[in-house]
Amino acid sequence: MSRADAVALAYLAAIVAFILALRFLSSPTTAPMGNRIGAAGMVVAVAATFAQEGIHNIPSILIVMAVAAPIGWYAARTVRMTAMPQMVALFNGVGGGAAALVALADFHHVAPEPGRIKADVGISILLSAMIGGISFSGSLVAFAKLQELVSGRPIVYPGQKPLNAALLSAVVAVAIVVLAGPQRQVLVGAVLIGALLFGVLFVLPIGGADMPVVISLLNAFTGLAAAATGFVLHENVLIVSGMLVGASGTLLTMKMGQAMNRSLANVLFGAFGQVTAGPAGTTAAAADGAGVRSTSADDVAVMLAYAKRVVIVPGYGLAVAQAQHDVRALGDLLEARGVDVEYAIHPVAGRMPGHMNVLLAEANVPYPQLKEMDEANPDFPRTDVALVIGANDVVNPDARNNTGSPIYGMPILNVDEAHQVVVLKRSMNPGFAGIDNPLFLNPKTVMLFGDAKASVEHLVAGVKSL
């Protein structure tokens, strides 16, 4: 067996490890082991790469890795769970950037060859540069939005869509020129810079509430960029791993779109949640609070303590207020009194797919209590109190009933089927998408205004004193 074959077999082992890692993610009990198998596969793949024939500069590569690894490790150990979407966006960008740079460096390597670059290699290099570039800059903008370095609101200006389309066409045109004739590195550089610019312009008009979709999509992009790099270097391990990620990102993007009942095009180009947008046909519910019943924490505490079954519906407001630990404390107190407590989690609760589950798991909520939407909905009619904390659009009955509502058709948690509904909310301001919510006017509903954390603390104190 030649050295090249041995390396290829090692890569095959890595591929198997990655697939097992994803397979083991089907259950929280096997997932940690799966992740370690995946990491071991990565170690094998990297070691095999160094064993390839004709790898030079090994000392300088190792030094760079030795410097970079602790940075990644430190960031991963210290990031707060609420900041996970930013972290994932950042890693997406870093991976996309690496793919683009690999393409750039490899183009330089193959360019001086006599005759034209083979079409397959040329196309792959340009795809890797373009997708990697878009993923890099787009992820950085998503990061900046999530970190609130720039406004989470959609940033729109006249002529935005034509401009973006023109830019993308120009980038593609230059790429074709590179393929057809003058293989100037300057032109490849221009493709990369154009792609970087497009990445920025493409994410800017997308609102903060649509971030779960954007992050999933950028995840898919980075996977595709990695796969394209695999075609450049003729490495199957890159092609397979990249496409596994591409499939994952695509699937999540589709699921998020379904959970919001919106097409990908609408998410990307609709600039949902603009301040100026006056969504037509919403119930002209009183934003001034007329018809809304406000209550005190002590009343709610009594209601919860004497209920048989309480379902907590957490939204992003809970995460923003860092109230997940207090909510868990409240849940524990109620359980100690014999109340049946569950958490109903909408797929887009949070800023990335599955985010709320991680936040509650971090707060030490046992995962069997975390119910997905389809599992939670049939049980609302036999629920005494639905406690909605910092969620709005995902419990808006207009999505079911009002054909004129912008969110009509979006699957929601049917909290209005519970015997009583308590909504913890900062104020009567409409939610992120700027849409009225008739749930707040429902006779079953009482509102507890204030900061989510402070309100939950009051509830904890209230239940304790009973």
**Which has the closest alpha carbon to 175: 117, 92, 222, 115?**
117
Identify which of residues 191 and 227 has a Cβ nearer to other proteins in the complex.
Answer: 227
Tokens describing residue 386: 């639905």
Q: How far is the CB of 285 from other proteins (least distance, A)?
A: 30
Identify which of residues 12 and 277 has a Cβ nearer to other proteins in the complex.
Answer: 12
Q: How far apart are CA 49 and CA 175, in angstroms?
A: 30
Phi and psi angles of residue 397, each rounded to the nearest 5 degrees, phi first: -65, -20
First vs last Cα of the chain: how many Å apart? Answer: 76
At 327, the amino acid letter reads V
Q: How far is the CB of 459 from other proteins (least distance, A)?
A: 12
Identify which of residues 14 and 448 has a Cβ nearer to other proteins in the complex.
Answer: 14
Identify which of residues 45 and 271 has a Cβ nearer to other proteins in the complex.
Answer: 45
Identify which of residues 33 and 163 has a Cβ nearer to other proteins in the complex.
Answer: 33
**Which has the closest alpha carbon to 154: 437, 435, 436, 434?**
434
**Which has the closest alpha carbon to 331: 344, 319, 321, 350?**
344
Q: How far is the CB of 289 from other proteins (least distance, A)?
A: 30
Angle at Cα 316 formed by Cα 314 and Cα 322, nearest 5°? 85
Query: For the chain, what is the largest distance between any 2 Cα atoms, rounded to a whole number of angstroms?
Result: 85
Identify which of residues 258 and 283 has a Cβ nearer to other proteins in the complex.
Answer: 258
Helix 84-110 × helix 119-146 angle, to 10°: 150
Q: How far is the CB of 80 from other proteins (least distance, A)?
A: 11
Whether 227 contacts 201, CB under 8 Å:
no
115 burial class (0-12, 13-18, 19+ CB within 10 angstroms)? Answer: exposed
E strand or H helix that includes residue 63: helix 58-78
Q: How far apart are CA 312 and CA 302, in angstroms?
A: 16
Give catalytic residue positions. Answer: 393
Q: Return the SS3 of 309.
A: strand
Residue burial 21-37, b: 16+ Cβ < 10 Å; e: rest? bbebeeeeeeeeebeeb
Identify which of residues 279 and 354 has a Cβ nearer to other proteins in the complex.
Answer: 354
Q: How far is the CB of 320 from other proteins (least distance, A)?
A: 15
Alpha helix ranges (H) inside 147-235 = 160-180, 185-203, 211-233
Q: How far is the CB of 236 from other proteins (least distance, A)?
A: 5
Q: How far apart are CA 218 and CA 136, in angstroms?
A: 9
Q: How far is the CB of 158 from other proteins (least distance, A)?
A: 35
Angle at Cα 434 formed by Cα 398 and Cα 400, nearest 5°? 10
Identify which of residues 29 and 427 has a Cβ nearer to other proteins in the complex.
Answer: 29
Q: How far is the CB of 399 from other proteins (least distance, A)?
A: 18
